[in-house]
Chains A and B, each alone.
Chain A
């Protein structure tokens, strides 16, 4: 039986390759003077992060990352660069570059120190046999209600799938959907409200100020 924490060598190599891609493109983003090239490098960095999500067994988050970041935000960045004319002068570094570098190194040192000096609880701490079965060998089907089905019968194709997906859900997308509309219902609704507010705010800010003067009363007693 594979333990939950076990990770194959190939996965580890893929992890470091995707990390190198992400961090390399990110370094280009913050050092490149040409803003358009920085936008392209940003798309590459987002793609690397998306690959990292797939390696971390978060398929749904990976797909969302590629749709939202690589697909939408990168295009938004490219449009912004093309709209603004004087971008040709490039993104000059500000005066506080040295201070920024020192602060960034300190932030990284603090985070790395914390990561390596904390006793993180491990998946191996789980003692409940049903939970272990659910997370390792079982082809877990968590229904919409409280029913749990653990299929360990190889003839049903459960075991092969489970070993490939050890430590994670086979059907993570469905479980995320159920969580969104149950446990996190309020946050889900608030996110919708936030996106509508952002949409209206963006439209309002982008409106041409000249066209906002609507034909008001002729005597002009009500104008702002």
Chain B
């Protein structure tokens, strides 16, 4: 397990999500694929946090608690991305329901106009 392996898994998950986002017709599956892409990105952030040093620890300055804590920047990043993804998922489903009510369909090809 090295940083390269982690990035490989992260890239594979992102690519699978990208394929799903363009190859599926149901909006719900497209949103699922977007969530997979979010997860791929977060794996990369956590992997960097685990395997690469924070710049503050390489600078040679006297060590502070702040510098040690900065080794966890990737984790904080992951939490922010998760929060944004959760808000996005809720809003996206509300939009899908609104579209379903207007057009009786959740197929992406029927979503060519915003007006109902």
Contact = CB atoms under 8 A, between A and B. Distances in A.
A100 B29 CA distance: 14
A151 interface: no
A163 interface: no
B76 to A, nearest CB: 5
Contacts of A224: none
A203 B53 CA distance: 43
Interface residues of A, number: 104
Contacts of A127: 58, 60
B75 A172 contact: yes
A161 interface: no
Which of B39, B82, B107 has the most C-beta atoms of chain A within 10 angstroms of its own C-beta? Answer: B39
A108 B47 CA distance: 17
A197 B33 CA distance: 24
Interface in A152-185: 167-169, 172, 175-176, 178-180, 183-184
A30 B79 contact: no
A97 B66 CA distance: 48
Most buried by B among A61, A116, A145, A195: A61
Interface string B1-29: 11111111111111111111111111011
A167 B7 CA distance: 18
B65 A143 contact: yes
A162 B3 CA distance: 21
A206 B7 contact: no
Given A69-B35, A80-B93, A111 B84 contact: no
Given A58-B46, A80-B28, A142-B65, A11 B72 contact: no
A35 B35 contact: no
B111 interface: no
Contact of B29 (A23, A29, A195): A29
Contacts of A220: none
Contacts of B36: 26, 29-30, 42, 45
A116 B80 CA distance: 27
A125 B98 contact: no
Interface string B46-59: 11011111000110
Contact of A122 (B5, B17, B53, B80): B53
**Most interface-central of A29, A105, A122 (chain B CB within 10 A):** A29
Given A58-B50, A127-B58, 4 more contacts: A61-B46, A146-B64, A176-B72, A198-B90
Interface of B: 1-26, 28-29, 31-33, 35-36, 39, 42-43, 46-47, 49-53, 57-58, 60, 63-76, 78-80, 82-91, 93-98, 100-101, 104-109
Interface of A: 5, 7, 11-12, 15, 19, 22-23, 26-27, 29-30, 35, 38-39, 42, 45-46, 49, 52-53, 55-58, 60-61, 64-65, 68-69, 72-73, 76-77, 80-81, 83-84, 86-87, 90-94, 96-97, 99-101, 103-105, 107-108, 111-112, 114-116, 120-123, 125-128, 130-131, 134-135, 140, 142-143, 145-148, 167-169, 172, 175-176, 178-180, 183-184, 187, 191, 194-195, 197-199, 201-203, 205-206, 209
